[in-house]
């Protein structure tokens, strides 16, 4: 795929629905009674994997692309799937559904693509086993494929070694089927969409500091969910607007949950001009429009408690850092190594391709930014959607043409990404 630079970007874009919230709306709708009507659902491959897994467990789901309707069957209404569930490339589907499958009275199994089969599942196998779940890594390597057998679950208080919303949500979902209350404490608060949305469906769930607790066997009731635009998708337009000289972009309807808004803080710390307009809420989540104007960026430090609030945006931030003046240090982000690709390696490799001065570290990278030394490059997505989108934005701001290998993987979270970007470049 050829990627050309842009002189300036102007106009308005509405990014697709939030991936994390779209997954959860399907899952929670499926195990609630009655219908759940979802608008602005993300029609990306990952969320379609979630739909297909629940359809295989007997849940009727209508998807006319404008609205998704889930005909929920209640906490104990899922049926044994006739085949192995396929979670595709989706870590969220794999880990959250594992919490639900652990509590069922039927056996099941799941697997995903080559990337999913390499991602660590021990982080859920350990707490689920502590709860009494009968769950196995079929190849005994701590990864999918996974096999589940019926078991009685016990409530636990779990101190999670990682700040991961997927781990937290997996345990809380298993907690719905346990014999007493289940609590999860994280080292740092991760995204809290599960806590907010499960409460709206009727669960007895409470949060205090970095601990979330859930009471089993609630009567979950279907509801209307309006999915906010995904701030992780907006990040590419935020960066494009800041990096391409003379740009002004209005990004409409972006979810700005404080557990997800680290990109705004990081971009502003780098000198980025971003104005929040029209603040409101959608299905309990804060939402606004973002007006982004081209800015001269400088280096910053990205670390500590802010990492979970921008974990998926680090590839894009690293690109911004290469264009910024001075040094950016990214640390405390070892989780990057276990995403859809090893994002320390894949970001560093692509940054080097475009002439950036970058050094990988154990838990991040150090980037000495200098726009003047950057040049055209042959990028590789490594089949990771966020790598493809981050370096497509880099290509817009570079003065020479670039190419991208396997750029179509953006369909995982943002079908229509290249078209939306091209509209602003006209």
Q: Mind telling me the catalytic residues?
A: 312
Q: Which residue is nearest to ligand S3P (CB)?
A: 20
Toward ligand S3P, which CB reaches closer, 185 or 370? Answer: 185
Among 285, 312, 384, 420, binds ligand S3P (CB under 6 A): 312
Q: Residue 92 interacts with ligand S3P (CB under 6 A)? A: yes
Site stretch for ligand S3P (CB under 6 A), options 62-70, 159-167, 363-371, 401-409: 159-167
Q: Note whether 217 and 30 are within 8 A (CB).
A: no
Toward ligand S3P, which CB reaches closer, 43 or 190? Answer: 190
Q: Residue 50 interacts with ligand S3P (CB under 6 A)? A: no
Toward ligand S3P, which CB reaches closer, 6 or 239? Answer: 239
Among 56, 73, 191, 343, binds ligand S3P (CB under 6 A): 191
Q: What x/- string results for residues 112 through 151 when contact with ligand S3P is judged by CB under 6 A?
A: ----------------------------------------
Q: Residue 40 interacts with ligand S3P (CB under 6 A)? A: no
Q: Residue 183 interacts with ligand S3P (CB under 6 A)? A: no
Look at residue 220 and give its three-state secondary structure.
coil
Phi and psi (nearest 5°) for 342?
Answer: -75, 100
Q: Note whether 27 and 52 are within 8 A (CB).
A: no
Q: Note whether 58 and 73 are within 8 A (CB).
A: yes
Q: How far apart are the first and last CA of the chain?
A: 19
Phi and psi (nearest 5°) for 37?
Answer: -110, 120
219-258: buried (b, 16+ CB within 10 Å) or exposed (e) per residue?
A: ebebbebbbbbbbbbbbbbbbbbbbbeebebbbbbbbbbe
Q: Residue 20 interacts with ligand S3P (CB under 6 A)? A: yes
Among 49, 108, 164, 182, binds ligand S3P (CB under 6 A): 164
Count of residues touching ligand S3P (by CB under 6 A): 11
Three-state SS annotation for 114-128: CCHHHCCCHHHHHHH
DSSP annotation of 131: T
Question: Which residues contribute to the site for ligand S3P (CB under 6 A)?
Answer: 20, 92, 164-166, 169, 190-191, 311-312, 335
């Amino acid at each position: 795929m050829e990627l050309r630079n842009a002189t300036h970007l102007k106009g308005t874009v509405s990014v697709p629905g939030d991936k994390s919230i779209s997954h959860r709306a399907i899952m929670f709708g499926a195990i609630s009674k009655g219908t759940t009507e979802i608008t602005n659902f993300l029609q990306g491959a990952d969320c379609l994997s979630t739909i297909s897994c629940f359809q295989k467990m007997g849940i009727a789901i209508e998807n006319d692309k404008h609205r998704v309707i889930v005909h929920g069957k209640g906490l104990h209404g899922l049926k044994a799937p006739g085949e192995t569930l396929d979670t595709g490339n989706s870590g969220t589907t794999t880990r959250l559904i594992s919490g639900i499958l652990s509590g069922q009275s039927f056996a099941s199994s799941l697997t995903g693509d080559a990337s999913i089969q390499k991602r660590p599942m021990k982080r859920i196998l350990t707490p689920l086993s502590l709860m009494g779940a009968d769950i196995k890594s079929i190849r005994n390597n701590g990864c999918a494929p996974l096999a589940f057998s019926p078991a009685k679950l016990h409530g636990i208080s779990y101190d999670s070694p990682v700040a991961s919303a997927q781990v937290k949500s997996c345990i809380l979902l298993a907690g719905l089927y346990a014999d007493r209350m289940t609590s999860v404490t994280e080292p740092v608060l991760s995204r809290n969409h599960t806590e907010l949305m499960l409460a709206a469906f009727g669960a007895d769930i409470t949060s205090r500091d970095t601990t979330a607790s859930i009471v089993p066997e609630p009567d979950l009731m279907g509801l209307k969910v309006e999915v906010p635009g995904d701030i992780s998708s907006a990040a590419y337009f935020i960066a494009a607007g800041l990096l391409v000289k003379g740009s002004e972009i209005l990004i409409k309807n972006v979810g700005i949950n404080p557990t997800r808004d680290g990109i705004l803080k990081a971009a502003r710390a780098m000198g980025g001009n971003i104005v929040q307009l029209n603040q409101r809420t959608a299905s309990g989540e804060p939402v606004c429009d973002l007006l982004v104007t081209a800015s001269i960026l400088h280096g910053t430090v990205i670390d500590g408690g802010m990492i979970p609030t921008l974990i998926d945006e680090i590839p894009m931030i690293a690109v911004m850092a290469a264009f910024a003046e001075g040094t950016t240090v990214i640390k405390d982000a070892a989780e990057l190594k276990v995403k859809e690709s090893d994002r320390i390696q894949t970001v560093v490799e692509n940054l080097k391709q475009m002439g950036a001065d970058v050094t990988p570290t154990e838990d991040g990278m150090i980037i000495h930014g200098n726009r003047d030394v950057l040049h055209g490059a042959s990028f590789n997505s490594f089949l990771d959607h966020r790598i493809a989108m981050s370096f497509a934005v880099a290509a817009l701001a570079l003065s020479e043409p670039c190419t991208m290998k396997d750029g179509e993987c953006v369909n995982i979270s943002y079908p229509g990404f290249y078209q939306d970007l091209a509209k602003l470049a006209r």
